[in-house]
Amino acid sequence: MYDVIIIGGNLSGATAAINAAEFGANVVLIEKNEKPFFPPRCGEATEEVTAEILNLDKIGCPKNQIKQITINVSSKKEYNFKVKKHGIYIIDRNFVEKYLLKHAEQKGVEVIIGSRMTNFNPPNEIVLDNKKILRGKIIIDATGISCQIGKRIRNDTELKPSDIGVCIQSRVEGNFNPNIMKMWYDKPYAPFGYAWLFPKNEKLANIGLGIPGGQKLDLSYLLDRYIENEVKEKFKVLHTFHSCVPASKPLEPLTKDNIIFVGDAARFANPIFENGINNAVFSGSVAGVIAAKFIKGDISKLTIYEELMKNKVKILKKAYYKKNRLTTEEEYIKSYRRTYSLLSLLNKFFPNILQNQFIKIVKKDKKILESIRKN
């Protein structure tokens, strides 16, 4: 029997595996795909604190540093925020995930690639598509929005359409300013959502949009219009994908018996911005340490994970309720214009205020992770 079985080899699953193994647990990780999606189902934007946790410089991960964020709210008026104090990067997620899985193996994790979980028999039996049965003392669900373990043991994992972020993104070849990240809220491209242009370098960008589910819209048509508006010059679409991310409240509780939920399976994507890299890395890392310490007898209950994630849950719930109060497009547009107008004004007198607030949250996450790793 394994100490820890992790289902999902994404950012949350791989970081959980590495951290559990580093603290002495016997770990197996199951990943259904033979290699990470290319291009990744992700805008690939993150910030300096998560970059430090992932050791991006040390591992040589390609990344593009952003110097300005340009935001448009359903009009031609733009709000520009200079990024001076804290680093924001467009990273190579494929590079990171491949490295993490390799690093997990180096730490002693048994990594099973290309096998799918077909059933879970509580409390500790995982059945794979090749009929192989694995048993583990602790199971970590890192299966993304599908929440494969969760949906078999609890009745609160089903998401209503409006709590699902429906996304489409293209990898586009063209001419881009690598210093500027762009976001466009609501009309005419992303009703109740936002479109983005995240440059990877001077010649490549991730361009996409995400909207709440339940709207009958032609996403391909909307994305094509957005790309044409932003690029204007000659361009080539190299790849396009569709995906879904949770835009709901986090799961509560985050553990059930011997099971821990991390990343998108725990609904840790931000309901407003639909970003989740930092939350995936943070939740996976914490869960791995907690699982290993529980196995070793250093802690007496897995629910310590919930206590450590309490502030994260609070922030994401607040964002969810704020999103749901905006029931009409007029309310949505007015709210975001008001917010960014105020932030733009504040930024003139207090430069970096928006960055400081965001980084402050992520730094708290890092301190929590460092604390449990030391104690």
The DSSP element (H or E) to which 369 belongs, if any, is helix 353-374
pLDDT band at 10; cut points 50, 70, 90: very high
Q: DSSP states of 259-327 as a string? A: EEE-GGGGT-S-TTT---HHHHHHHHHHHHHHHHHHHHTSSS-TTHHHHHTHHHHHHHHHHHHHHHH--
The DSSP element (H or E) to which 69 belongs, if any, is strand 68-73
SS3 328: coil
SS3 48: helix
- CATH top-level class for 2-62+91-160+249-327+351-374? alpha beta
In one-letter notation, the amino acid at residue 29 is L
Please report, to the nearest 10 degrees, the dihedral formed by the alpha carbons of residues 165, 171, 175, 176 taken in order: 40
Q: Is the pLDDT confidence value at 274 over 70?
A: no
DSSP state, residue 151: H
Over the stretch 37-71, which tens digit does the pLDDT of each residue have? 788 889 999 999 999 999 999 999 999 999 999 99
**Both structure tokens of 112:** 């099973």
Q: What is the mean pLDDT of the chain?
A: 94
Lowest-pLDDT choice from 29-38, 93-102, 114-123, 343-352: 343-352
What are the domain boundaries of the chain? Answer: 2-62+91-160+249-327+351-374
Largest Cα–Cα distance of the chain, in whole Å?
Answer: 63
Confidence (pTM): 0.95
Residue whose C-alpha is closest to residue 319's, from 335, 342, 341: 335
φ/ψ of residue 137, rounded to 5: -70, -40
Mean pLDDT of 270-275: 79
